[in-house]
Amino acid sequence: MAAYSTGTITLTNGSDVVTGTGTAWLANAAQGQLLQPLPSPTISLVAYVAAVVDNGKLRLESPWAGDSYTGIAYQLVRDFDPLSNTALIPNGNTRPDVLVNRAITRLSQYAATGDKTAAVVVAQGAETFRTLAAHCGDFPTPMDWGAVGDGIADDTAALQAAWNAVAVIGGGCLHLGGRNFRVTAPISLYTGVRTKIRGPGTFTVDFSGANLVAFSATNPTSPSTRGGQLEIENVAFNTSVAVQSAGTGPVLFEHMYCSSLRLVRCTLSSYANNTALRLGSVWNAVVDDTYVWGAGCQRARKQIPTTTTFSIAYGATALQASAAIFDASDVGQIICVGTQIFTIQSVTDAQNAVTTMTAVRTTSGGVGLFDGVRGAMAAGSTTLTLAAAVMTAADVGRLVYVLDAKLNTYPTNMLAPLRATITAVSADGATITLDTPASATVTNSYVAISPAVEITNQDGANKTNDFILHALQVEQFRGIGLVINGGDNVFMSGLKLHGYPSAHNNTSSLAAALFTGMSGYIAGADFEATVVNNIARVMVSCLNSALGIDQVSATVMDDQPIIAQTSGYSGSICNIGNVTVANACAARSLTTPYTNTGVGVLNVWGALGAYANAAPVISVARTFRQPVAVQSGSLAAPGMAVAGDSDTGLAQVSGANTVSLVAGAVEALRVSATYTAIPNYLAINNTSNLYDRLIIREDAARHIYLSTISDTAAACPYIYAKRARVTGTASASGDHLFWLDIRGNNGVSDVNCAAITVLQTGAVNGSNVPAAIVLYAQPASGVTYAQEILRANGDYSVVHRGNAQTIINANSLHTHRPYTVAGLPAAATNQWAEAAVSNPTTGKLPKVMSDGTNWLYMDGSVARAG
């Protein structure tokens, strides 16, 4: 039996730890081996190995009783096989009886029944005393590798050894046996083989570091290689009280480049300002029935003492704080007061500010919270300058998203969030350095810090695809509850995202979810808000395909959009249906670039309902292609009202097939399909609501009428225009192409006054239409309709109608055009015309008249025949 003696060792009196240099013990040492320090017999003591911790560390069965030694030679000899419980007798051994006696002594401690004081087969590490009956049929547990599982003892080494052993044998299932395992250092879960962790059981993470990961399933030797076939079921990942107090806990579970992951019925509870669950480049994976509590991190732009309260009256813009909190830097920034969001327009003094819009309800002594920190970053730079000093050196290694700081070039130039890791923080906490430069310049963009749950794409060809997220509940998150950063065919159902419940925690939330660069479908989700400062319930950005959101409920804050976007995106990609929301208004005081921007189409189908105090708003510049249901309401309470002005909005107060714009409980504009039996009618009413000031309507023949009415006696009250023919049909002689009708009012209805029309006088000739302008006027009495008085024809003639007299008042002249006698036109075509001649026969007056045959002088003599 050969001894192993590579490297040197260090022994310390009273310690059970042996450290080695150049020893490579993981592959060459085992529990139960005999450790012999050299030279012998100078050093006469020996010891037995209890566990192999790593390549340079062993644990002994009992503390070393000899002197301390540094860098000495040694040898490891195994004289007992713990797997088979048999003695190993080396060649040339002159005292085999010693080994046999030792084996007999050990076996005497074993019992098949009794009080669990006997030891059975142990793979590695310290022996666990149990009865043979208790052990029969068991699966491997961390206790087989020396774990205690009481939540107090440090089980890190035993857990890593257990996982290594399961992975080495090609996979298997590690059962936790309902124990609580305390972890004080990162654990690597190798995923090259099909392995399972089966609960019930708990891992309590008891170490800090925002740059660390408690349980990492990423392949440590080839991080960009997909590791697959990992299943974790019914397991809780928690942080210790000490880590929560420190506030810089590690990421609880991370699996990058993963395939065929199954995370089922698990709980991840952080409360330590970091991500709880991070998955990257996920392929054919399922996360099901999993809860995430208290995860995520976000820093408010400005801290508010927990004793400070705020007050604002309904309909007012004056916001008052109970203590000095405002300064000039708050202008243009957002503050949350109770369930209302305001943009600060100006600061009066340290305790008083003015908001951009009025409050929708009175708040007295309410809690408040400033919005999350924003920053500026130049394209090509890795320096992010924050609007407030909110970071510390402990944040190095933390993940951030800088909204709109990344320029995607496919399928078109679109802005997206920049995902990067903090590599340095300035001494004042206002400037951070990232590991990835921006590709787009931003000047006042929100910075999201360590989302509670992140599903992201890694660089390269590997991307998230065919990922199912079912029954995920993210409670009491800070910052952003869920980020889906890239991927195709991401399907989510039974999703609940609920922000942190206290406005005085100064952590500030941005949104329940951020979906960017992805396609997929959400069916059944609850985006719930409490007293947190969310910019929107859901933010979308740079989507490259279709995202469907259906069967969604949301409780949002006043003046907060349900769906907002951080930048433009292409195509008809965001489909919203069957949404029920409470407290959603028009984001009227939320003046940020994260609403109503970009291009593309927002499709809405199904029911869009609301409850509580206002109507729903999906605040993106999109086209609604399906009906949106609005209650009929009344003049005092329109079905869709303006926030802060409950008697102004849209209502149906004039019967079926009408809709009215109500202002101050008065019907100011009505659109109607039926008005006095004439369809398609729009009216603008005056303040007294007695007469329609403006009417636009179209009759059955598609004549269009424009009318005005005035109840003022001095006004010219009624005008209407009429178009005679349907588009696509040629107009004909006798059609009135335009009709301007001026009418008065007798106190009951409109009455005739005058009219001007354009009358077609012949058939259309190519691109020309012969026409005449006709003037109508109403006689004083006795005639029902206005009469034609004057017609101007297209042949330059002007015709008086209705036996009208031509009256030339005083100081006016009637001047004829002079003709020569020879130049007079034909008498036959100008019967009863009169004309002036410049060369009359001597003694004759210079005036002639046609009788249809000749031109005659006033005395009856012929001036010119024919």
Q: What is the pLDDT of residue 612?
A: 39
**Do residues 615 and 588 touch, judged by C-beta distance below 8 A?**
no
Q: What are phi and psi of 520, to 5 degrees?
A: 165, -160
The pLDDT value given to residue 234: 96
Cβ atoms 777, 787 nearer than 8 A: yes
> Looking at the domain assignment, is residue 366 inside a domain?
yes
Residues 824 and 700 occupy one common structural domain? no
703 shares its domain with 750 = yes
Task: Residue count of the chain, please give it.
Answer: 866
Asked if residue 776 and residue 831 are part of one domain, the reply reads: no
Residue 547 lies in a domain: no
- Domain check: are 324 and 356 in the same one? yes
**From CA 635, how far away is CA 616, in angstroms rounded?**
20
Does 16 fall in a domain? yes
Residue 833 lies in a domain: yes
End position of a domain, from candidates 345, 370, 395: 370
Q: Does 729 fall in a domain?
A: yes
Q: Which helix (H) or strand (E) holds 242?
A: helix 241-246
- Token digits of residue 141: 């547990």
| Tokens describing residue 310 | 């705020």
Alpha-carbon dihedral angle through residues 218, 223, 225, 228, given to the nearest 10 degrees: 0
Show the low-confidence residues of the chain (pLDDT under 50): 82-85, 92, 108-137, 503-505, 531-532, 568-573, 577-578, 581-627, 676-680, 686-693, 709-726
CA distances in angstroms from 254 to 160, 275, 682, listed in the order given: 16, 9, 61
Question: Computed over its alpha carbons, how large is the radius of gyration of the chain?
Answer: 45
pLDDT digits (tens, 9 = 90+) for 804-820: 667 777 777 878 888 99
Residue 336 covered by a domain: yes
Per-residue pLDDT, 438: 94
**Looking at the structure, do residues 851 and 750 belong to the same domain, yes or no?**
no
The answer to whether position 194 is within a domain reads no
Give me the half-sphere count of Cα atoms (radius 13 Å) on the Cβ side of residue 141: 21
Cα torsion 138, 143, 148, 149: sign: negative
Give the containing element (helix H, strand E) for 811.
none
Q: Same domain for 842 and 789?
A: no
Tell which of 38, 69, 104 closes a domain.
104
The single-letter DSSP state of residue 142 is G
Residue 807: the pLDDT is 74
For residues 654 and 783, state if they share a domain.
yes
Amino acid in position 482: L
The stretches of 29-179 forming alpha helices (DSSP H) are 96-107, 132-135, 156-168
Q: Which structure tokens are listed for 464? A: 């998230």
Residue 114: strand, helix, or coil:
coil
Q: Could you tell me if 364 and 389 lie in one domain?
A: no
User: φ and ψ at 132, to 5 degrees?
Assistant: -60, -35
Residue that finishes a domain, picked among 104, 128, 143: 104
- The verdict on 387 and 423 lying in the same domain is yes
Structural contact between residues 42 and 69, judged by C-beta atoms closer than 8 angstroms? no
Each residue of 134-151: pLDDT tens digit? 444 467 889 989 999 999
Say how far apart CA 26 and CA 34 lie, in whole Å: 16
In this structure, the answer to whether residues 741 and 846 fall within a common structural domain is: no
Cα dihedral across residues 75, 80, 82, 83: positive or negative: positive
Q: How far is CA 400 from the centre of its chain?
A: 17
Output the pLDDT for position 613.
39
Domain check: are 693 and 824 in the same one? no
The domain in which residue 715 lies consists of: 647-800
Instruction: Determine, yes or no, domain membership for 153.
Output: no
**Nearest alpha-carbon partner for 191 in 166, 157, 213:** 166
pLDDT at 610: 39
Residues 710 and 683 occupy one common structural domain: yes
CA angle (206, 207, 213) in 5-degree steps: 110
Number of compact structural domains in the chain: 5
